[in-house]
């Protein structure tokens, strides 16, 4: 069975400082992993995805994530936070054998000036 | 950039009433999905739909729920007799291909918030 654990429900950073949002996964198959972001009153927007190519994945808005099989992790990072990064972030896994995406519980990122 | 459009953005209904949530997927997409998020809980898969048939559904998707593609553009989720526990944000999504790996990704709408009183 697949599952995703987002280790922090809330993360607060100052503008210009690094962002780290942590995600661990469990999957019986070779997983595809995604990060989605949800801004208030907006849909779920794809930030980046890992699909068994390069383990370091670059996404939109300066975000990137590294797939570490030995640690079953897919943490999301950004070198320098911007006020517009404040949102809810979801780590998502799919093994590709079903139609389902399995979502984590989400991490709310706050960015202070 | 193509978008998935959902209406209404917010609906308030009385328990026992029927509700229809509407979605306009991206025009060249063939696979359609509904997910929901109860306040404070995870986003959960409800159902996937292809070629006018349900291709997969979760245990949540019981006889009270149905989906339909009544014309070439809309994709609807009907809840026959709403319960208090149906209060949630409902997300529609679409994709050009079935399996969610490789280059295939879901595009989600902004959601429809359903409040059952």
Give the DSSP per-residue string, B5-69. EEE-SEEEE-TT--EEEEEE--TT--EEEEEEE-TTS-EEEEEEEETTEEEEE-TT--TTEEEE-
Which pLDDT does position B40 carry in this prediction? 83
Chain B residues within an 8 Å CB radius of A105: 41-42
CA dist B100 and B62 (Å) reads 24
Please answer yes or no on whether A43 and B41 come within 8 Å at the CB atom: no
Residue B38 pLDDT more than 70? Answer: yes
Pairing assessment for the beta strands B10-13 and B112-116 based on DSSP bridges: parallel
The residue in chain B having the minimum alpha-carbon distance to the alpha carbon of residue A46 is B107
Chain A residues within an 8 Å CB radius of B106: 46, 101
CA dist B75 and B109 (Å) reads 12
Which pLDDT does position B2 carry in this prediction? 75
Least confident of A17-26, B42-51, B102-111: B102-111
- When the candidates are 2.60.40.10, 1.20.140.10, 1.10.10.60, 3.40.1280.10, the CATH number that belongs to B5-98+106-116 is 2.60.40.10
Please answer yes or no on whether B103 and A51 come within 8 Å at the CB atom: yes
Q: Where does the pLDDT of residue B99 fall: very low under 50, low under 70, confident under 90, or very high at 90 and above?
A: low
Please answer yes or no on whether A49 and B105 come within 8 Å at the CB atom: yes
For chain B, which residues make up each domain, given as ranges?
5-98+106-116
Which pLDDT does position B98 carry in this prediction? 61
Give residue ranges of A with CB < 8 Å to any B CB: 32, 34, 36, 41-46, 49, 51, 90, 94-106
Judge: domain A3-112, CATH 1.10.580.10: no
Summarised one tens digit per residue, pLDDT across range A62-73 is: 999 999 989 999
Q: Which three-class secondary structure state does DSSP give residue A92?
A: strand
Summarised one tens digit per residue, pLDDT across range A12-51 is: 999 999 999 999 998 777 788 999 999 887 778 999 998 7
For chain A, which residues make up each domain, given as ranges?
3-112
Summarised one tens digit per residue, pLDDT across range B52-91 is: 899 999 999 999 999 999 887 899 999 999 999 999 999 9
Which secondary structure element, helix H or strand E, spans residue A58, and what is its range? strand A56-58
Instruction: Calculate the alpha carbon distances from B46 to A7, B65, B88 in Å.
Output: 25, 9, 12
Which pLDDT does position B104 carry in this prediction? 66
Summarised one tens digit per residue, pLDDT across range B8-17 is: 999 999 999 9
How close, in Å, is residue A51 to chain B by CA atoms? 5
Residue B1 pLDDT more than 80? Answer: no
Contact with chain A for residue B79, Cβ under 8 A: no
């Amino acid at each position: 069975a697949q599952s995703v654990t987002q280790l922090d429900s809330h993360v607060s950073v100052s503008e210009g400082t690094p962002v780290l949002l942590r995600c661990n996964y469990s999957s019986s198959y070779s997983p595809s992993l995604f990060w989605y972001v949800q801004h208030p009153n907006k849909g779920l927007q794809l930030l980046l995805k890992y699909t068994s190519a390069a383990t370091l994945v670059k996404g939109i808005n300066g975000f990137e994530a590294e797939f570490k099989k030995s640690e079953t992790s897919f943490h999301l990072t950004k070198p320098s936070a911007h006020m517009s990064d404040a949102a809810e972030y979801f780590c998502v896994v799919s093994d590709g054998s079903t139609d389902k995406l399995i979502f984590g519980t989400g991490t709310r990122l706050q960015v202070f000036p | 950039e193509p978008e998935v459009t959902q209406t209404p953005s917010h609906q308030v209904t009385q328990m026992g009433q029927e509700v229809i949530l509407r979605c306009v997927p991206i025009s060249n997409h063939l696979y359609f999905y509904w997910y929901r998020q109860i306040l404070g809980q995870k986003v959960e898969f409800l159902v996937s739909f292809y070629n006018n048939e349900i291709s997969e559904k979760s245990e949540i998707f019981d006889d009270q729920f149905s989906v339909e593609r009544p014309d070439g553009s809309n994709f609807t989720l009907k809840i026959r007799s709403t319960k208090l526990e149906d209060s949630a944000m409902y997300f529609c999504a679409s994709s050009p291909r079935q399996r969610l790996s490789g280059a295939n990704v879901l595009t989600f709408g902004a959601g429809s918030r359903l409040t059952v009183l």
